[in-house]
Amino acid sequence: MKPKKPKDSDQIENQKIDIKSRLGYFSEFVTAYELAVIIKKSGGQLTNRSKINKLKADMNTRKAELLKLVPANKRSEILRQESAGKIIAKQMFNDLILNGSEGNDYHTLEFDINLTGDSAKGVAKADIVLTVKRPSKKKIIDQIAASLKAYKSPNINLANSTFTSLLQKLSGDEDYENKALSKFEGIIFSAMVDEYMKLKKVKDRKTAEDTVGSGAKFLKTEGVSMFSKLKESGRRASKTSHKEVAKLIIKEFENIYQKNKKQVNKNLLSLIGMDGEDDFYAAIGEPGKQKVLSSRQSNEMKMFLESVKENKMNIKMEPSNSGNAVDVSVMLADKQIAKSSISFTDTGIGSGGMTKSKGAGKTNFWFNVKAFL
Average pLDDT over residues 8-35: 77
Left (φ > 0), alpha (ψ -120 to 50) or beta: where does 55 sit? alpha
Single out the residue in 100, 132, 151 at which a domain terminates. 151
pLDDT single digits (tens) 139-174:
899 999 999 999 999 999 999 899 999 999 999 999
Domain count, the chain: 2
Residue 203 covered by a domain: yes
Rounded Cα distance, 246 and 328, in Å: 11
pLDDT single digits (tens) 275-300:
767 899 999 999 999 999 999 999 99
Same domain, 167 and 64: no
Residue 106 banded pLDDT, cuts 50, 70, 90: confident
Same domain, 210 and 113: no
Which residues pair with residue 341 across a beta bridge? Answer: 327, 366
Rounded Cα distance, 113 and 159, in Å: 32
Residue 326 has pLDDT above 90, yes or no: yes
Single out the residue in 151, 175, 193 at which a domain terminates. 151
Residue 120 has pLDDT above 80, yes or no: no
pLDDT single digits (tens) 228-252:
999 999 999 999 999 999 999 999 9
Residue 289 covered by a domain: no
- Average pLDDT of the chain? 89
Residue 81 has pLDDT above 60, yes or no: yes
Same domain, 58 and 99: yes
Same domain, 171 and 248: yes
Residue 3 covered by a domain: no
Same domain, 141 and 238: no
pLDDT at 107: 86
Same domain, 102 and 163: no
238: domain range?
A: 155-282+295-372
How many angstroms separate the first and last alpha carbons of the chain?
A: 56
Same domain, 115 and 191: no
Which residues pair with residue 239 across a beta bridge? Answer: none
Residue 1 covered by a domain: no
pLDDT at 331: 92
pLDDT at 10: 42
* Angle of the 224-259 helix axis to the 187-200 helix axis, nearest 10: 150
Residue 305 covered by a domain: yes
Our CA dihedral for 274, 275, 279, 283, rounded to 10 degrees, sits at -20
pLDDT at 16: 57
Same domain, 237 and 143: no
pLDDT single digits (tens) 339-348:
999 999 877 7
Same domain, 207 and 94: no
Same domain, 275 and 166: yes
pLDDT at 346: 76
pLDDT at 193: 97
Sheet with 45-46: list strands edge to edge.
45-46, 110-115, 128-134, 139-151, 279-284, 291-294
Single out the residue in 151, 170, 199 at which a domain terminates. 151
Residue 4 covered by a domain: no
Same domain, 146 and 250: no
In this predicted model, which residue has the larger pLDDT, 158 or 16? Answer: 158
Same domain, 366 and 320: yes
